[in-house]
Amino acid sequence: MKRHVALITGATSGLGAEFAQQLGRSQHNLVLVARDAQRLEAKAVRLRSDFGVEVEVLSADLTTDDGVASVSARLADPARPVSVLVNNAGFSMVKPFEKNTVEEEAAQLRILVRTPMELIHAVLPGMRARSHGRIINVSSVASFIPRGSYGAAKAWVTNFSRSANLRYGPHGVKVTAVCPGFVHTEFHQRMGADMGGVKPWMWLNVEPVVREGLADNAAGKAVSIPSKRYATIVALSRFVPDKVAAAVGNRGR
**113-166 pLDDT tens trace:** 999 999 999 999 999 999 999 999 999 999 998 878 999 999 999 999 999 999
Q: Where are the alpha helices (DSSP H) in the chain?
A: 14-25, 37-51, 65-76, 102-109, 115-130, 148-168, 187-191, 206-218, 228-237, 242-249
Mean pLDDT, residues 30-54 taken together: 97
120 alpha carbon, distance to own chain's centre: 12
pTM of the model: 0.90
Q: What's the rounded Cα separation, in Å, for the pair 225 and 178?
A: 6
Question: Which of 74-97 are b and which e, b meaning 16 or more Cβ less than 10 Å from the residue's Cβ?
Answer: bbbeeeebbbbbbbbbbebbeeee
Q: What is the pLDDT of residues 202-239, one digit of tens each?
A: 668 999 999 999 999 999 999 999 988 888 888 887 86
DSSP state for residue 134 in the 8-state scheme: E
- CA separation, residue 82 to residues 79, 131, 175, 228 (Å): 10, 13, 14, 32
> What local confidence, expressed as pLDDT, does residue 9 receive?
98
pLDDT number for residue 211: 97
SS3 for 3?
coil
- Quick one: the chain helix, strand, coil %, rounded to 5? 55, 15, 30
The b/e string for 188-218 (b: 16+ C-beta within 10 A; e otherwise) is beebebeeeebeeebebebeebbebbbebbe
- What's the CA gap between 171 and 152, in Å, rounded? 29
Say yes or no to pLDDT of 184 above 70: no
Tell me the C-alpha to C-alpha distance, in Å, between residue 19 and each of 9, 16, 65, 88, 207: 10, 5, 25, 9, 9
Hey, which residues are catalytic here?
150, 154
Q: Average per-residue pLDDT in the chain? A: 90
